[in-house]
Amino acid sequence: KKYKIIYDSREIFSELAAHKKSTFKKKINKYIEKKCLSFVSSVITSAPSDEKHLKQIYPDNNHINFYVIYNYAHIYLDEDFKLRKKLKINLKSKIFLYQGVVQKDRGIGLLFRLITKIDNAVAVIVGNGEHEVYYKKKYQHLSIQKKIFFINRVPYTKLLSITKEADVGCLFIKPVSLSNTLALPNKLFEYALCGIPSLASHLPNVDYFIKKYNLGKTVNINSMQEIVSGANALLKEDNQK
């Protein structure tokens, strides 16, 4: 009771993709969250949509102050990573980048399929995670080893030095849960800060920022034809600069 408690709600925790098949887990999470919120003085979310959702499902919390803190990146460009030189990528090849946790439902498989349909294109994945081995086996099975490069997780202070050397940043989140649907990931802002366009899923928050600030293109990730068309459009715009 001596202290003010701040709840940093970075996701809709009762609606995580990991719980999409378990109504029981969702109910337990909601119960715990509801009980704990009675002790909380302030809640931080990463988008207004998350704040709105929490207020709707827990309406009896007028004592709480809500604040939105976006996942804006801090600029760290202290060195040149020389990505192409280190990975021996041809200067004519376009780099499609994914950075973040290597998990399913984050569109890494879609990225693999995309580069098989784009001339002179490679994929670079920066990060690691629970499905890293799965994806490494998958790209070997697809026989596109020469077009895919994995870089292990790097300190955040070095990440944007890699990001800025890519041509397109990929953000193919699948809306398999409410938390995913309302996502507004830090990688969108990291790509923007480094001056590379995003090729992203049609998600409400992502759509809003990309269209308002001309940060790239959003596509229907259930249509490979639309993904390829969006990628080619971004590369064409880049060539005209």
What pLDDT is attached to residue 63? 92
pLDDT-based confidence at residue 78 (cuts at 50, 70, 90): low
Q: Over the stretch 131-182, which tens digit does the pLDDT of each residue have? A: 888 888 877 776 677 889 999 989 888 899 999 999 999 999 999 999 999 9
Place of tokens 């409410």: 178
Q: Work out whether strand 216-219 and strand 65-68 pair parallel, antiparallel, or are unpaired.
A: unpaired
Of the candidates 167, 234, 239, 237, which has an alpha carbon nearest to the alpha carbon of residue 196? 167
Read off the tokens for 200: 């992203």
Q: Over the stretch 209-225, which tens digit does the pLDDT of each residue have? A: 999 999 999 999 999 99
The H or E element containing residue 60 is none
- Rounded to whole angstroms, the Cα distance separating 135 from 141 reads 10
- Rounded to whole angstroms, the Cα distance separating 115 from 119 reads 8
Read off the tokens for 83: 């990505």
Q: Which residue has the higher pLDDT, 105 or 71?
A: 71
What pLDDT is attached to residue 144? 77
- Helix pair angle (156-163, 186-193), 10° resolution: 60
Read off the tokens for 16: 């995580």
Q: What is the mean pLDDT of residues 107-129?
A: 92
Decide if 128 contacts 239 (C-beta within 8 A): no
Place of tokens 């715009």: 237
What pLDDT is attached to residue 201? 96
What pLDDT is attached to residue 39? 93
The pLDDT of residue 79 is above 90: no
What percent of the chain has pLDDT above 90?
Answer: 72
pLDDT-based confidence at residue 241 (cuts at 50, 70, 90): low
Q: Over the stretch 8-28, which tens digit does the pLDDT of each residue have? A: 999 999 998 888 888 999 999
What pLDDT is attached to residue 24? 92
The pLDDT of residue 95 is above 80: yes
pTM recorded for the entire structure: 0.90
Averaged pLDDT score across all residues of the chain: 91
Q: What is the mean pLDDT of residues 68-77?
A: 86
Strand partners, 171: 200
For residue 17, the one-letter residue type is A
